[in-house]
Structure 1
Amino acid sequence: MTVKILQIGLIAALAAMAAPAAAQMRTPDGTTIVHAAADCSGAASQVVGQTGGQLLSASAQTQGGQTVCVITVLVPGSGNERPKKVTVSVPQ
């Protein structure tokens, strides 16, 4: 299974470099290839740095036709307060 996933990933990468962006790409078995360029690591680092929290999750989602990174952090409470779970959407 890992080999098939790697093959599909390699095919997708090669096709993305060779074909125009508007062209629809397919694998040899007919599966449509969708280019996903959303990498939320930078957005996650930014939110963690700004909040001083601990990263719980980071995922790319589509909201209103736009790709955003949804970042969830656990922010420490002050004094005896419990930590707060904070979710932030960052545009790509």
Structure 2
Amino acid sequence: MEPTVISEGINTGSGDQFGSAVLISGDMAVIGAPNEDSASIVDQNDNSALDSGAVYVFTRTGTAWSQQAYLKAPNAESTDQFGRSLAISGSILDGWSAK
């Protein structure tokens, strides 16, 4: 089996801690970035919510991984650190925050 690399999410920055929490289930990988700074999923480059956090969902087809979703807490605020811890059960994903 060859190792597989999942590149960072499309809007991650150097201090986002992408990969600090990782879950892999079959052909799906869920990756937390608790220090990601975007304030919403609408404008991913709006870095006005320092360390609010995000979760990225990737799926695998063959040997290639591609990003399928970018998730934020519905009321993202600075220092929430959403995605610091992850849990999955069936089709339910929980991306706990520090608060």
| Both proteins in one fold, TM over 0.5 | no
Higher relative contact order (CA 8 A, sep 6+): 2
Q: Which has the higher helix share?
A: 1
Q: Which has the larger radius of gyration?
A: 1
TM-score w.r.t. length of structure 1: 0.35
